[in-house]
């Protein structure tokens, strides 16, 4: 029988595999619980790309298992198509250079149709099976 930690690790791996863009964060996109998570959500929302989000706060084991899987100590953590992009600073730098839009597969701000014709995608929520 698997331990609760193994179950959490498996749920994290499944969430990453099932979602093209997923953000592990403190709080939710509607109510971020730290400035770094809020800034990362704002970047993703400005691109208009749908993304899933998982709140790591309900159970400290979520953060522990996430960091063990990703070898990344801080939260938020953004994954695109199964690959760790990084935390807030890296996501912000990639956004500013246009690399994030390219990695996600959307037009960078200022490219393609103007904002009047592009409706930003609301973040998808996934069932938080990690607590």
Cite the DSSP H helix spans in the chain. 4-18, 35-47, 60-70, 88-97, 99-104
CA nearest 38: which of 52, 23, 18, 48?
A: 23
- Any idea what the CATH number is for the domain that residue 99 is in? 3.40.30.10
* pLDDT of the chain, 131 residues: tens digit per residue: 789 899 999 999 999 999 999 999 999 999 999 999 999 999 999 999 899 999 999 999 999 999 999 999 999 999 999 999 999 999 999 999 999 999 999 887 765 444 433 344 445 445 555 54
CA–centroid distance for 117 within its chain: 25
**How many domains in the chain?**
1
Task: Give the whole-angstrom CA distance, residue 105 versus residue 96.
Answer: 15
111 part of a folded domain: no
């Amino acid at each position: 029988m698997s331990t609760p930690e193994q179950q959490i690790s498996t749920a994290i791996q499944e969430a990453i595999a099932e979602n093209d863009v997923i953000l592990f964060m403190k709080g939710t996109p509607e109510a971020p619980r730290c400035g770094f998570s809020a800034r990362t959500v704002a970047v993703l929302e400005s691109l208009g790309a749908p993304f899933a989000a998982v709140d790591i706060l309900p159970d400290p084991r979520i953060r522990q298992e996430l960091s063990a899987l990703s070898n990344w100590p801080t939260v938020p953590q953004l994954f695109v198509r199964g690959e760790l992009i990084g935390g807030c600073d890296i996501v912000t730098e990639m956004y500013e250079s246009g690399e994030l839009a390219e990695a996600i597969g959307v037009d960078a701000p200022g490219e393609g149709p103007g904002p009047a014709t592009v409706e930003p995608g609301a973040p998808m929520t996934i069932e938080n099976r990690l607590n």
